[in-house]
Amino acid sequence: MGRSAPLAVLAGLIFVNCCSKPVISWPANDQDASDMSLPDYDQYLGEYLKPDDSLALLLDYDGTLAELTTHPNLSEMSVEMRQSLRNICNSGKAFVSVISGRDVDGVKKKIGLENVIYSGNHGLEVLYPNGTRQNQGIPKEVADNFDKMVDHLNREVVHHGSWVENKRVSLTFHFREAEQKYIPEMAARATEIIESYGYRANPAHAAVEAKPPIEWNKGLAAEFILGTSFDENWRQRKVIFAGDDTTDEDVMKMIKGTGRSFRVTKDKDLVTNADHKIPSVDAVYHLLKWIESRICG
């Protein structure tokens, strides 16, 4: 490792706010990840997914299909990952849904494939390939307050480097680039403003998230998407899921025992509902390639 390598590693340890708790992004060429051997998907899935099975493949985006980055706009899925996902979609044997914390149009833009069911805002929004949209029951009076809340935050607390990520149904008020001396008051006032409009204010790393006051999560969203896309016997179908964050655990719980799930993490001690831990986005790529070869023949 060269003299500049420790700095590069430090530069890669950047906290991002796409999720409800701090997560760490690693550089794409992270040495630790490349040193790890790839998971043995024959062993993990060989008995579960047979060549003639029809598959429901559910995936998170940030940290799963694409490396985490310092700003959501910088995230890109690799050409190879997109091609493999496209091949699976076009196989005629797989149903693919991407469930993300981003807004639904944002995640569709990042993936760029047509025959995928996209879900955004941790499952609050669903966008079907035919353009049909389904938003989970946010009370009208709360939804009507959303734009007013965004305006109020922009007027009062967006200054000295802070900004609002408007996800249409929820938002994240980011202040990691603001000067430290402004942050305590900025965060406290943002919390007050968010709550005054009937939204839940959740602290996140260098951010406050505003979420509508309804009980919903990625697990319920996955169940909803599978239930509306298949008949009531969808639980007999083969379901595979991969995600990298605590919000993905709800999906892992939901399919436990019937499906197969993978948690992307380098933390060997992490407790998870997933069937297996895999170390990196690259390992997800190899999961897709394994599935592709399995069902596309």
The residues of the shown chain that bind Mg ion, judged by CB under 5 A, are 60, 62-63, 244-245
Instruction: State the residue for tokens 């035919």.
Output: 130
Cβ of residue 240: shortest distance to Mg ion, in angstroms?
16
Question: Would you say 191 or 246 has its CB closer to Mg ion?
Answer: 246
Residue nearer to Mg ion on the CB measure, 59 or 187: 59
- Helix ranges (H only) for 23-175 are 31-35, 41-45, 79-90, 104-111, 140-144, 146-156
Q: Which is nearer to Mg ion, 97 or 162 (CB)?
A: 97
Measuring CA to CA, which residue among 66, 131, 99 is closest to residue 226?
Answer: 99
Residues 6+ apart with CB under 8 A from 270: 263, 277
- Residues 6 or more apart whose CB falls under 8 angstroms from that of 151 comprise none
- Encoding tokens for residue 86? 């496209």
Is 111 or 295 the residue whose CB approaches Mg ion more closely? 111
What ranges in 46-179 are assigned the alpha helix state H?
79-90, 104-111, 140-144, 146-156
Q: Which residue is nearest to Mg ion (CB)?
A: 63
Q: What phi and psi, each to the nearest 5 degrees, are found at residue 188?
A: -65, -45
Nearer to Mg ion, 110 or 289 (CB): 110
Tell me the closest approach of the beta carbon of residue 275 to Mg ion, in angstroms. 18
Whole-number Å distance between alpha carbons of 279 and 220: 26
Nearest approach in angstroms of CB 112 to Mg ion is 18
The minimum distance between CB 60 and Mg ion, in angstroms, equals 4
CB-nearer residue toward Mg ion: 60 or 250: 60
Smallest gap from residue 215 Cβ to Mg ion (A):
21
Least distance CB 20 / Mg ion (angstroms): 11
Cα pseudo-dihedral 209, 215, 218, 224, rounded to 10: -140
